[in-house]
Amino acid sequence: MSVEINQAIALVTGANRGIGKAITEGLLEAGAVKVYAAVRNRDSVGSMIEKYGDRIVPIEYDLTRPETAAAAAKVATDVNLVVSNAGVVNVSDPLAADAISSLQFQMERNVYALIHLAQAFGPVLKANGGGALAQMNSLASLKNFTPFTTYSASKAAAYSVTQGLREAWAEQGTHVISIIAGPLKTDMSDSAGMGEGAPPPSLVADALIGALKSGDFIVYPDEMAQQAGAVYASFADNVINPKEPEA
């Protein structure tokens, strides 16, 4: 099922800043009916409520507390689009003393949280006609960057889970989207030393809206990701996303 943007009722995790805020605003500006802003502190979306009124609905969500995903699914029963955006990044190479703890920290927040969110909202999406789920992945899902090895490992795992969800939800008609982005200009990328000269996060909103129309599984919002995507395309087309044989 494709989700028409003017019929979209979305839940966006980490909606209060960075990419999540850009996605939330982009969806609303494009005509989405409503966005549940899933954040740890509901007061953090006050400025967006002032701008968009009751089209923004704050809802508690914490990556480390699976019960908040389950509780959100009981409230946001009209959702037909889930955007799994919230995540963390740690700088840690494979030989660092904290490599294991860093990986555990990021797996819990970047991978386990995705699974909990999907398990909570899968039945909601099914009940609402299938809908769509978009996962915020990264070039680090495809290529390890040594100073960010543990982050890359967690994002590779998240990409793998995204592929699994696509297959698992095929029968219920849920459109799964993997957003593979390069560094974008956010507070998180700045803190990791990757923000200088990076393009704006609004590109992700544009790519997501485009994928909802096209039905694409993998989308590349920015130029760096698009260049990598062009090289990756053969593998993706033949292994990850093979076309059905013509009758």
190-219: pLDDT as tens digits: 565 555 566 889 999 999 999 999 999 999
Residue 177, strand partner residues = 134
Predicted local confidence at residue 174, as pLDDT: 97
pLDDT of 241? 80
Amino acid identity, residue 74? K
Q: Give me the residues paired with residue 178 across strands.
A: 135, 218
CB 135 within 8 A of CB 179: yes
pTM of structure = 0.93
CATH architecture classification, 5-240: 3-Layer(aba) Sandwich (3.40)
pLDDT higher than 60, residue 189: no
What's the DSSP call for residue 58?
E
Sorting pLDDT into bands at 50, 70 and 90, what band is 145? Answer: very high
Residue 110 pLDDT grade (very low, low, confident, very high; cuts 50, 70, 90): very high
Q: Is the pLDDT of residue 184 over 90?
A: no
Q: What is the pLDDT of residue 194?
A: 58
Q: Kindly state the average pLDDT of the residues 73-95.
A: 96
User: Whole-angstrom Cα distance, residue 5 to residue 28?
Assistant: 9
The secondary structure of residue 108, as a DSSP letter, is I
Least confident window among 4-13, 100-109, 126-135, 181-190: 181-190
**pLDDT tier at 170 (50, 70, 90 boundaries)?**
very high
- pLDDT given at position 76: 98
In a 3-state reduction of DSSP, which class is residue 143? coil
pLDDT band at 247 (very low <50, low <70, confident <90, very high): very low
At residue 229, the pLDDT reads: 93
- Tell me the pLDDT tens digit for each residue of 47-64: 999 999 999 999 999 999
Q: What is the pLDDT of residue 186?
A: 63
pLDDT value at residue 195: 53
Average pLDDT over residues 143-166: 96
pLDDT score recorded for residue 245: 45
- Looking at every residue in the chain, the average pLDDT score rounds to 92
Range with the poorest average pLDDT among 3-7, 80-84, 93-97, 185-189: 185-189
Strand arrangement of the beta sheet that strand 34-39 belongs to:
56-60, 34-39, 9-13, 81-84, 132-138, 175-181, 218-219
